[in-house]
Amino acid sequence: MNNLRFATAIHILVLTEKFQGQLITSDFIAGSINVNPVVVRREIKFLKEAGFIDSKKGKEGGCFLVKNPNEILLGDVYKIMNQENVFGRMNQTNPECPVGKQMNANLEILFHHAETDLIKTLNHKTLKEFSDEFQ
């Protein structure tokens, strides 16, 4: 499970919401998250492709929020940042074992239901609502 990507994306979005109308640099964001700016730039790319933020290149550049924070659901951010199954890959089980041959199919169903519930829970909160929790 790669919670770091989701957490980084939410951190970037909260900063862009808090500094609306301003260009914020990947260096500034990286300082807030305490990661390398390269990590931030990679996630900015995904958020930009999703239509949440945009960026301006150059010395006076930075990124900024383009979508209304009241319309950004945290579950949608999660789905964009986690293209793979939240629980990761499954084991290569023994097809001769009565349990092993069924394990991955049953786990896949379980994981799907759990991830669906997670996204449903996250979709009860907008970026604006989450951002308002920070003083």
Write down all domains in the chain, each with its CATH number in brackets. Answer: 4-132 (1.10.10.10)
From first to last of its 135 residues, the chain has per-residue pLDDT tens of: 456 889 999 999 999 999 998 999 999 999 999 999 999 999 999 999 999 999 998 888 899 999 999 999 999 999 988 866 556 666 788 889 989 888 888 888 998 899 999 999 999 999 999 999 998
pTM, rounded to two decimals: 0.84
Q: Name the token pair of 96.
A: 């001769």
Using an 8 Å Cβ cutoff, are 127 and 13 in contact?
yes
- Locus of tokens 């990507």: 5
